[in-house]
Amino acid sequence: MLKGAEIVLRCIRAEGVDLVFGYPGGAIMPLYDALDGSGVRHVLTRHEQGAVFAAEGYARVTGKVGVAMATSGPGATNLVTGIADAKMDSVPLVCITGQVRTAMIGTDAFQETDVFGVTLSLTKWSRLVRTIDEIPDAIAEGFYWARSGRPGPVVIDIPTDILKAKKEFSGPLKFKPHARPADAKAESTFSDAIVALLQRATRPVALVGAGAKLSGAIPELRRLLDDLNVPTFATVHGLGAVPPQSPYYLGMVGMHGTRAANTALHETDLLMVFGARLDDRVTGDPTRFAPNAKIVHFEIDPAQLDRVRTCDLPVIGNLADTIPAFHAEARKASLPDWSGWRAVACGAERAELDPRGLAQPTIRFLDELFSRLPQDNVIIADVGQHQMWAAQRYRSSSPRGFITSGGLGAMGFALPAAVGVQLAKPDTCVLCVSGDGGFQMNIQELATVHRLGLPIKMVIVDNKYLGMVRQWQQLFYERNYAETDLSDNPDFVEIAKAYKIRGWRLNEAAMVEFPVSAETGDLIDNFLSSPGPELLVFDCAPEANVYPMVPAGAALSEMVFEDAE
Amino acid sequence: MQVFHIRYRNAQGTLMRILNAVSRRGLDLTTVHAEGAGQDYAVTMLLEVNPKQIGQLYREWYAIVDVIEVRSRAVLHEQEVPAWGAHPPASESVSDRATQAALA
């Protein structure tokens, strides 16, 4: 006879889980009681949001399912932001929540929340477990849906009496999905159709999103792009999918994308999208997005098609299947010579950033920092100006090397996510870049970093403002800096010290000199090479802005540059 | 007006997920009827939607793991709402239509 809690742990072990993140509480205590000897390591964060972001970090860097645990009521509701984040960014995540006793459900009992209902629109699948017999099936089905197709979040809510109940356990189950008569599959003729479109195209381009890495199709995609040799750019989650040194690669596209990428996207007559949602941060004004282009959209999730702009040719299916099928046809076909278009799109006159932008101290700092990272590194960016600067300057060809909360834009993501990344990759240099606002949203996870001795290198780009909001206030609200002033920030170095983490400070004045002084270089090198956790505060000008920028509602061709201020 | 028929497995929350796809778009649910349909369940809804929303709803419903089939057709009057199974509208292949349009 096993307790329900023991069955849960055996079932998740059978799913390959050996690490979970969580925070204990009343209703989930039986599960915590069963952890010892289960083979599942539990990492205690200092807030449930920290746990779910850490699980996301683990999942994003490994491609495996991340698992977070929390108790009922506030424990469960504190997971909600992470669940929404996982939905937006296609992260395989299973959240196991304790629930009040079965008999108390619906009575507004202490710490009772309808977490099933609260998360219904945010999850890919969820289950309120009603009997101990349901546990193996719920775990098997939950993990199946979390990792299958377009990955996403799952919630399994288990009342405390079911975790305590006992039954004979015959072993974990494997879930087999029901067949659907109209299951979405790539049409067998799509390759011919795309080739026909390519043969007519004079200015084709490729846009790469997260789907390429999620489907494990990076090698296939790179081979295809090398053969097509058309101007190519990436979304923030597609960074690293295409080696930046590729002669046809134009960098990031969208609101803070490069001039070359946004211009090519505006001018193209054939846009091939590989695993991207085409959200508003990528398209700008959807009515003026790629206005002259036919759109071919490779996508695993049919729900993502036509959201903001109707595509002309949907190719629904796993990119690992559809890209090779298309590539095989493309190889056989006679395709036009696009060298003239490529020369224009990739030409020097469309430099990635204007020279004034490159002279910006924070950009210089990030360039300096990134260039001194060891080869094996992962960068986790929080949300805000620093995130966009980091994305613009990211130069790695590691598909899972740049991690950020892209779709939801959840401030406070980076530090706990870095915990998950570092635990998944103990020998990798993990660099966590935050702003002063976002860092304070989950600053308590410094305790987790210290307890585990994780050698995370934490950088706070401190402009003493909620910088991105302030930038919008400056540009679009007549400099009315309403409630974005953080000039009374605490001394982050002292805070780090209180958590027994060494702190460093660097002023942007050190970046005026180019190349940087030996002293500054040594400081950065020492910060990065230290064996333990380190925090570096980069003090920068309060009113620096991220450019280029496509104002909300504008077309990609209407980028604003620094000169326009 | 458009009538939608969605066949689904009656797993926890599936009907709510189907309805969520409507409510998140601020659409009024004029008529909703859910019932058993053989081994499965079916919900019939009458909605005032534009062509783009029809496509979005189709795809969002299909993304729900326990939805089996989605069908729809235009109706002129509420009284025309058919019962599930009595007048199943023919479904079109979105891909075929799109391919033809793309190559036109």
CA-based nearest residue in chain B for residue A117: B13
pLDDT in tens, A159-203: 999 999 999 999 999 999 887 654 445 456 889 999 999 999 999
Q: Which pLDDT score is estimated for B94?
A: 44
Task: Give me the pLDDT at residue A513, please.
Answer: 82
The pLDDT of residue A562 is: 78
Mean pLDDT rounded to a whole number for chain A = 94
User: What is the mean pLDDT for each group of 10 consecutive residues in chain B (104 residues)?
Assistant: 95 96 93 94 95 89 93 77 41 50 58
Judged by CB atoms closer than 8 Å, whether chains meet at B99 and A303 is answered as: no
Q: What pLDDT score was predicted for residue A178?
A: 81
Q: Which of A187, A196, A197 sits opposite B95 (nearest CB)?
A: A187
Interface confidence, given as ipTM, is 0.89
Tell me what pLDDT residue A141 has: 98
pTM: 0.93
- DSSP calls for A344-369: HHTSGGG-SS-HHHHT-HHHHHHHHH
Using the predicted structure, report yes or no on whether residue A470 has a pLDDT greater than 70.
yes
Closest CA to A281 of A388, A401, A129, A160: A388
pLDDT digits (tens, 9 = 90+) for A246-287: 999 999 999 999 999 999 999 999 999 999 999 999 999 999
Residue A319 has pLDDT above 50, yes or no: yes
The Cα A163–Cα A25 span in angstroms is 13
CB contact under 8 A, A145 and B65: yes
Q: How many residues does this entry show for chain A?
A: 565
* Residue A312 to residue B98, Cβ atoms within 8 A: yes
Domain boundaries, chain B: 2-79
At position A205, the amino acid (one-letter code) is: V
Query: Do B52 and A184 count as a contact with CB atoms less than 8 A apart?
Result: no
pLDDT of A295 above 60: yes
* pLDDT above 70 for A498: yes
Instruction: Please give, rounded to a whole number of angstroms, the shortest distance from the CA of A114 to a CA of chain B.
Output: 12
The reported pLDDT for the residue numbered B92 is 39
pLDDT at position A497, please?
98
Q: Which residue shows structure tokens 């010892």? A: A36
What's the pLDDT tens digit per position in A537-561? Answer: 999 999 999 999 999 899 999 999 8
Chain B interface disruption, residue of A312, A315, A322, most B CBs within 10 A: A312
Model pLDDT, residue A347: 86
In angstroms, the CA A264 to CA A238 distance is 17
Q: Show the tokens assigned to A307.
A: 């959201």
Distance from CA of B68 to the nearest CA of A (A): 5
What pLDDT does A256 receive?
A: 95
pLDDT in tens, A383-411: 999 999 999 999 899 999 999 999 999 99
Mean pLDDT of A99-115: 97
Map out the domains of chain A with their CATH numbers: 2-167 (3.40.50.970), 190-350 (3.40.50.1220), 355-546 (3.40.50.970)
User: What would the mean pLDDT of A312-338 be, rounded to a whole number?
Assistant: 95
- Among A39-48, A134-143, A474-483, A555-564, the range scoring the smallest mean pLDDT is A555-564
User: 21-50 in B: which are within 8 Å (CB) of A?
Assistant: 24
Cα atoms found within 13 Å of the Cα of residue A386, Cβ hemisphere only: 37
Show Cβ contacts of residue B99 under 8 Å, excluding neighbours closer than 6 positions.
A187, A189, A190, A193, A313
Look at A13-22, A46-55, A450-459, B48-57 and tell me which has the smallest mean pLDDT: B48-57
- How far apart, in whole angstroms, are the C-alpha atoms of residue A42 and residue A169? 23
Residues of chain A positioned with their CB less than 8 A from the CB of B63: 150, 301-303
How far does B60 lie from chain A, in Å, by closest CA? 5
Nearest CA-CA partner of A387 in A444, A332, A468, A328: A468
Q: Indicate if the pLDDT at residue A535 is higher than 80.
A: yes
Measured between CB atoms, does B88 come within 8 Å of chain A? no
Taking one residue from A and the other from B, the number of pairs with CB-CB distance under 8 angstroms is 78
Q: Taking each helix axis from N to C terminus, what angle separates A190-200 and A319-332, rounded to the nearest 10 degrees? A: 50
Q: Among partner residues B12, B91, B103, which is closest to A193 by beta-carbon distance?
A: B103
In tens, the pLDDT along A203-258 reads 999 999 999 999 999 999 999 999 999 999 999 999 999 999 999 999 999 999 99
Whether the Cβ atoms of residue A362 and residue A389 lie closer than 8 Å to each other: yes
- What pLDDT is recorded for position B85? 40
Among candidate residues A185, A3, A154, A171, the one with its CA nearest the CA of residue B11: A154
**What are the strands, taking DSSP E only, across A405-500?**
429-435, 457-462
Q: Is residue A5 a contact partner of residue A38, using CB atoms and an 8 Å limit? A: no
Angle at B22 between CA B17 and CA B27, to 5 degrees: 160
CATH number for B2-79: choose from 3.30.70.260, 1.10.3720.10, 3.20.20.140, 3.40.50.300: 3.30.70.260
- Residue-level pLDDT at A443: 98
Distance from CA of B44 to the nearest CA of A (A): 18
Q: Which of A150, A307, A312 sits opposite B102 (nearest CB)?
A: A312
Q: Which residues of B touch A314 (CB under 8 A)?
A: 94-95, 98
Q: Among residues of chain A, what percentage have pLDDT more than 70?
A: 96
Contact of B63 with chain A, judged by CB distance below 8 Å, is answered with yes
Which positions ≥6 away from A348 have C-beta within 8 Å? none
CA A509 to chain centre: 32
